[in-house]
Amino acid sequence: MKVIKAICFTLCLTLYSFSHLLITAQEQVAEQITEQVIDQVIEQATEQVVEPVDLSIEGKFVWADLYSNDIASSIDFYTKTFGWSVIKIGDKNDVYYLFMSDDKAVAGVIDRPAEQEGAVEALWIGSIGVQNIQQVVDSAKSEGSTVLMNPSNFDLFGTRAVIADPRGSIFSLLDIGSINPDNKKHLSDRWGWAQLFSINPKKASGFYYSVFDYKINKGEPPRMKSIYILYSHDTAQAGIAKLPSNYEQRDHWINFIEVDNVKDTITKATENGAKLISDLKEDQRLAVIVDPNGAFLGLKSKSLAKTPENNPEQK
């Protein structure tokens, strides 16, 4: 644990400053995702979600950070709900927290000052694993993205960057080839599936295809015609669904973490103040909750994935 504390100190300095940029870009996420859309996404995604894979797989969501303006409340909720422990790195205003499970780092927690009235109090930002981070950053910029944090090296995570895609959805990049092998064993592999809610799923799928070279399958019509599944290495990694037109139009990612039992986790989460925004069907392997501070989080259990078929229309 001393190793993790030491190598995370530099990370917290940069990410603390970066958290200020997120307030405007994500301020109304809780008002944009409806229960009906969540249910449609879960119905389509349930048969796609894969087992956690090695962190060396490109295109996989390999890490996530929780940005919160009430650190104590967020830590209280996640430790009680998931049984995680916490490591604090840094002091005063330059603090980074690690959620730990079975001696592995699960996620980071970063202070997010509530400087804007009406801003959502907390949000999760997921990191996509890549092999050449500068090349991906350049590609994303050429496709209209905004670079919020240029590639920066951190001992625990390797080289990391933060991007806002052309429709405003924020995600991170993690150069998995740069992770120190001695540190990789300290990282959890519980992150895997992610869902983007987009004002234009077709254009969004085109962006992520161009930047990450995902293979893309479209959902079955008529109900799922606006849902796209993104594949890399023949496994489903993420989905894109339509954001209702009567909501403030800004794209948002929801990240999913693997749990032993989705139903049991929902029970604990709601007991600790979370809201369930998708119905839990008997055989369902995914669900979405909103934590007490407004951060959306997906829950997933283990399942097998289908092999994608090429979709020339989307390419």
For 24-67, the pLDDT digits (tens) are 333 333 344 444 455 555 555 544 444 444 556 788 898 999 99
On the question of pLDDT at 233 being above 80, the answer is yes
Statement: residue 153 has pLDDT above 90: no
Highest mean pLDDT among 45-49, 66-70, 112-116, 300-304: 66-70
**Percent of the chain residues topping a pLDDT of 90:** 38
Residue 193 confidence class, pLDDT cut points 50, 70, 90: confident
pLDDT (mean) for 160-186: 82
CA distances from residue 245 to 40, 198, 221, 251, 299 in whole angstroms, order as listed: 16, 10, 19, 12, 26
**115/89: higher pLDDT:** 89
pLDDT above 70 coverage of the chain, percent: 65
pLDDT of residue 103: 85
Cα 84 to Cα 81: distance, rounded to the nearest angstrom: 8
Grade residue 311 by pLDDT with cuts at 50, 70 and 90: very low
pLDDT surpassing 60 at residue 260: yes
Bridge partners for 164 per DSSP: 146, 170
pLDDT tier at 281, thresholds 50, 70, 90: low
pLDDT(195) > 60: yes
Mean pLDDT, residues 149-157: 80
pLDDT at residue number 284: 67
Q: Answer yes or no: is pLDDT of 83 > 90.
A: yes
Structural domains present in the chain: 2-300 (3.10.180.10)
Average pLDDT over residues 132-161: 89
Contact 191, 64 (CB under 8 A): yes
Per-residue model confidence (pLDDT) at position 19: 33
pLDDT at position 282 is 59
* pTM of this prediction exceeds 0.85: no
C-alpha 300 chain-centroid distance: 13
Question: Of the ranges 114-118, 164-168, 234-238, which one carries the lowest mean pLDDT score?
Answer: 114-118
Strand partners, 287: 299
